[in-house]
Structures are given as C-alpha cells and as structure tokens.
Structure 1
C-alpha cells in the first residue's frame, strides 16, 4: 500500500496551489493521506501556511529534471496530480516515473503534440506496469468530453442508437487564463513553427487515436449561422485539444459513438442578425495566444474573478432523421482555475477510490465517465442536464 493516497506535484504554482487548497478544505478530516510536492521546501512551507493546510501536511521535494528523485516520489503515491507545465518542456520525466512505478497520474495537459508523443512512447509500458495515465483533467477537456458522453447516452436512450453528429456549443463563459496556460500555448506554437509534422498533428482531429483514420470533420474555424442554436457561431480556441480528446474517448471505447462520428466545437456569438454575424467575425480574429506578452507563470485570476466566473456548454446530438437531443453542462466557477482545480482533484479521488481499470493512457471519460460525473456533480459545482 502506498504511503500517500495523493501527491500534488507543483503545489507552489498557481493552479497547484488551488488544488492543494481544495484538498485541504474539502478533505481535511484526516481520512485522505496527501502531500504537497515541488522544487522548493521553503515555498512549499509558505503555501501550506497561506492556504490553511495543517502544519503537519507532508512536504516533498523533487526537481522536474531529476528522474531518480521523481521515481522515489511516485513510488510513495497511489495517485500523482501534476500541474507543472508546459508539459512538453517539463512533463516527461514525471510521467515516465509514474509509468515505471505503476502509479496513477493525472494532469491538466492541453498540448496535443506532447500527448501524441507520450502515447506513442509510453502506452505499452503503462499497460504493462498497470499505471493509469490520464491527460487533460481540467476545463480542457472534462466538461466537453463528458458533455458529449452524456449527449450520446441520451441519444441511445431516446432514439435507440448513438448520434453520428454532435455539436459542442459554448453558450456562455466568464473567466480568464493564467500564466501557465499562456506559456503552454506559446510552447505549442513555437514547436509547430519549428517542426511541420507538429502542425500537421495539431490540425488532425484523430491525432490521439493512433492508427485510426475517421471521417471528415466539420472545420469549426469559419463563422456561420447555426440553425441548431438559432444564432451565429465562431471558432473556439480550445477546440484544438477538446475535439482530439473526444475522438480518443470514442477510439478507446471501441467507437461507441460510431466509427463515422463527427464532432466540432464553436462559440455562440452574442447578438442577433447582423450584430451576431459581426460578433462572430470579430471573435474569429482574436487569439490571445498570439500576443507577445501575457501573464507570467504563477499568475492568474484573483479569487473574486474565480468565484464570479462560470460556463454553460451545449452538446447537440443530431440524428440522421433530423431529431436531436441536447445535453447541457454548467460550471459555477471560472473555467480555467476555480473549476479546473476542483475537477483535477476529484479526478484523482475517482482514480483512488472509485475505479480500478487497466494500465494505459486514458481520457477521464474513457476510464471513469459515470463515477467522475457523479463526483463532479456532488463536489465540484458542475451540473449535467438533458433536454
């Protein structure tokens, strides 16, 4: 039996701190054996005190570039949560250590180029060691991947078979991004600029489903009027990762949505008629990741901004008969941090307490859809409804 149930690696970073604070507040009754980990003991002590964690909370140190220290760290845990990104710069040694020690792992990665490389390099070894490696356990991509799953479950219940087409539509969202997100986006863009094969991967919707070539997918990059929502829609910057994770979930499950499944994500633009069209076109021209300057790593939205944030997502499952069913996912905090910190913490607890599963590299939905959904509804401020 592992010494610790959960180790939060990167607990002194912006998001890691929020994860540790959530565990201290929500699971501080002593039933959960957890530890904070990072590079600096002094910083860990400071964060422990600032978030109100018990003074005897274990603090562990290991550098992200020290494989031996990381192996020693992961061997002490049942589950490792890591918020140390960009993962393509700092993530592989910890993932490799978890694979080697058979330790469950979950992260917040939204870097499909790195994820594809890790799947190719470590999936067989993870299956052999029993390590359950789970990527993208935050706003990218849990609400989207689970939203599609809920919509498809509803389609099967109502129409007797899965929908061949699901539209993900962001109806409302209030929140900002942190320095870690900005750094990850810039790292991905820099990698693609240096290596054309990475750019090809970034635009391939099936990049995380190796060996599978699915049907043509909706572009999602061109503003247009969408009859399904009665308004104009515009590109959504996170679709590049979310769509790949949705297709990987379908792939890992043996294509329960069908081998001909189509999916895209777009934002519903505010306003009607020409106003909505103008708004959609303006949104299409914006990409905060192309800015020269953004928040520095360790920076992010204030507590007030996190608490006042929210999101509402629709997933419209369309049948070939013209019938449809819609699943709606809502979150009660800002998507990237207030909600994300709870989602990854509850994913770790789900790995720890609710599911077994085989080793391998998973999406949260492919490994633990129903128990994770229940956890998020009970503890993380998410709701899933069907209409």
Structure 2
C-alpha cells in the first residue's frame, strides 16, 4: 500500500456525471475533515474548474490533468495519490491500463465495474502483481455489488451468532426500487455482450457463476432466467438485471474468505413483482424488457435530475435457509436512486474506508466484504443512507 502521498484519493473522471456526484458528496460530507486529502482528475483543466465551482468545492481543491490517451499523465497521477477512484467506463474499454499501472505502482483502486468477464481477465493478469506491490484493487464498489456483497456477509454473521453455522442457501429478492440504471452501466452491459458474442471463451466466462474464483467451482447454482411463483414469499419473481455481476462478486467473496459460506453455498437474485395475475403479468413484462441493451436509456455522462435522484430508493430482502429448516432474513435499504445517488455515496465511502480504516488489508484484487466488511458496513449506515436490518 502506498504512503506519503500528496492525496489520499483522486477522483478520476470527475467531470463525468457520476464522478461529479462523487466529488459533490465529498464536498458535502467531508468539507470539514482536514484529514482527508482528495483531488479531481480529468482530461480538461477548464472542465474540472467548472465542475469544482458548480459543486461549491473549495477554490483550492486540487485539479489533476489525467488522460487515458496519455500514459505519462496517468503515471504522474498515480505518483501523487494513495488511491484512484475511477468512474471512467466501460472499464473493458478504458480501464485495463489503469488497473495494470495501479497494480504495478502499489496504488489502491476502486471502481463501479459491472463487467465480470473483464474483471476475470484483470484478476488473471494482475492479482500476483498487486499482492507483491501492496495495491488493493476493489472492483464493483457501487450499487453493484456492495449491497449484495455486504448483505450476504452480514446475514451469514447473524446466522453464525443465532444458529452456530452459516446458511447454505441465500436468496436476494428486490422488494422495491425507484430509479434508473446508469448510462455507464448500460454501456458496459452492451460492451460485455458484444465482446462475448464474438468470443466463445468470453461467453463461457459470462455464463459461469464462478468466473471470478480461479481454480474453484462450488455447488450448482440456481439459474434464475425466467419468472416463477415463490410460495414462501407469496410473490412472483423475475430475473434481476444486476444478478449477473452481483452473484459473481458474492461467490468471489466466499472464495476470498476461505469458503466461509461453505462449499455447498448457493446464491441467486430475483425481482419481486407481487402475487396473483398482476404479479405474473409484471414479471413476464420485465423478463421481456430489453431496454438495458437498447438505445433508449441514458448515455454515459447523462443521468437523472437531482430531484429524481433524491426521490429514488431501494429495498433488498436476503433470505437465508439451511438444511435443518432454519431461516433468517435481512433487509438492506438505500435512500437514493441506486444507479447514481446511492452509488456515488457508496464508492466514496469505500474509497475512504480502504485508505483510512482497512489499512491491514494486504495487496490483491478484492471484493468489498473480505477487504472492508464490518467497517464499510458501519460507514455506509452512518454516512451514506444505507441500512442493514434483520427482519
């Protein structure tokens, strides 16, 4: 891990829609915290200064010129900071060189990646280097996949306290959600599908629930690719678009925690649509919705208004069961729209947690639960509008 640097955190992509929200959150939440030293980075000094002024950041907020097309500027940025928080995606297009450079330089890294095939490639290429340099690389530090990763982690802790063992099966069910997926998420989704269709190896990795656990394959997992009625919850459920990335990260956490959830552990995610004919109709409509891969959603750099972000929310239900019929439930709630408002707060807190609190975490390519676990959970509850509550 890097020390004696000018900055704790550099927000790379601060002039983009989500990067700007991250910077704005740091201004509001940490303007009086002199212990946190952060900077805004991007290609244009003029645009950086404009965003700095528009979000009411202090005039002396450092601005760093960093352009993915000019490797020297990226290296210069890494020499000045302990951690790079990057919102510049799709990461398979813009992120590979940055991950490689962070791993080599011993600089910590967090992103909002929802691209499991690319993440698997980065693990294969750079995990050994990151372990040697001390760089802590943590992918997927937004709505995908922190609520899922920490939700499972906290439910398993409760299960051990109450029953003396973990739950072999956990289901995530999205109870409520208001908000839209981000333009960056949509672009990453399309880029991933395009790459997978061209390459059978990438398609196999995309479909493999253990694509992020090299050398380890656990139990057969639920497929969850079509609607069905769930008797115990009295609701129809339908495929959840973020399940492809969230399930992979949860299994990687189990892998990195030395199979703490068990080798028979199964995990899936679905969206709850309600009981009866109405619930069935909504489930089928959602299953047939192809907007994520289309052109109707927001483009990278675009997003909802402040009012829309403020009005958003989500509630996720985690249901754990074991072979003895025991059951435990945990609710995870967020107070802003998932794709932007909540995500920008989550990644900011993850970055601060990594450099200030999780100093004992060694170098490597991590998920949030084994890297930061309880300390990140507490930060998110205290600062970022999330709650983790047993039902």
Considering the TM-score relative to the shorter chain, is it more than 0.5?
yes
Of the three residues 259, 272, 275, the one matched with 1:255 is 259
- 1:107 equivalent in structure 2: 111
**What is the CA-CA distance between 1:199 and the residue it aligns to?**
1.2
Of the three residues 315, 325, 332, the one matched with 1:329 is 332
**What is the CA-CA distance between 1:228 and the residue it aligns to?**
3.3
CA distance in 2, matches of 1:253, 1:154: 16
Task: Tell me the TM-score normalised to structure 2 length.
Answer: 0.97
Deviates more, 1:341-350 or 1:57-66: 57-66
1:76-87, aligned counterparts within 5 Å?
76-87=80-91
1:218-237, aligned counterparts within 5 Å?
218-237=222-241
**CA deviation string 1:193-227 (max 9, x = no partner):** 21121111111000000111111100111211112
Task: Tell me the TM-score normalised to structure 1 length.
Answer: 0.98
CA distance in 2, matches of 1:242, 1:287: 19
CA distance in 2, matches of 1:345, 1:217: 32
**What is the CA-CA distance between 1:68 and the residue it aligns to?**
2.5
- 2:293 equivalent in structure 1: 290
- 1:7 equivalent in structure 2: 10
- 1:205 equivalent in structure 2: 209
Secondary structure at 2:263 match in 1: coil
1:145-224, aligned counterparts within 5 Å?
145-224=149-228
Q: Is 1:118 aligned to 2:122, yes or no? A: yes
Instruction: Answer yes or no: is the 8 Å Cα contact 1:99–1:126 preserved in 2.
Output: yes
Instruction: Answer yes or no: is the 8 Å Cα contact 2:222–2:266 preserved in 1.
Output: yes
CA distance in 1, matches of 2:173, 2:76: 44
**CA deviation string 1:216-272 (max 9, x = no partner):** 1001112111123221110000000000000000000101000110000000013x2
Q: Is 1:358 aligned to 2:362, yes or no? A: yes
- Which runs of 5 or more structure 2 residues have no equivalent in the other structure? none
Of the three residues 140, 144, 148, the one matched with 1:144 is 148
CA distance in 2, matches of 1:267, 1:136: 20
- 1:385 equivalent in structure 2: 389
Of the three residues 63, 75, 78, the one matched with 2:79 is 75
**What is the CA-CA distance between 1:315 and the residue it aligns to?**
0.6
**What is the CA-CA distance between 1:8 and the residue it aligns to?**
0.4
- 1:21 equivalent in structure 2: 24
Aligned pair in 2 of structure 1 residues 307, 320: CA closer, same or farther (>3 Å)?
same
Instruction: Answer yes or no: is the 8 Å Cα contact 2:186–2:293 preserved in 1.
Output: no
**What is the CA-CA distance between 1:28 and the residue it aligns to?**
1.1
Secondary structure at 1:75 match in 2: helix
- 2:344 equivalent in structure 1: 341
- 1:62 equivalent in structure 2: 66
CA RMSD of aligned residues (A): 1.0
1:310-329, aligned counterparts within 5 Å?
310-329=313-332
Provide the aligned length of Structure 1 versus Structure 2.
386
**What is the CA-CA distance between 1:79 and the residue it aligns to?**
1.3
Secondary structure at 2:141 match in 1: coil
CA distance in 2, matches of 1:262, 1:182: 27
Instruction: Answer yes or no: is the 8 Å Cα contact 1:67–1:97 preserved in 2.
Output: no
- 2:312 equivalent in structure 1: 309
CA distance in 2, matches of 1:31, 1:363: 26
**What is the CA-CA distance between 1:71 and the residue it aligns to?**
1.6
**What is the CA-CA distance between 1:293 and the residue it aligns to?**
4.1
- Which runs of 5 or more structure 1 residues have no equivalent in the other structure? none
CA distance in 2, matches of 1:110, 1:97: 20
- 2:41 equivalent in structure 1: 37
CA distance in 1, matches of 2:276, 2:28: 47
CA distance in 1, matches of 2:181, 2:263: 34
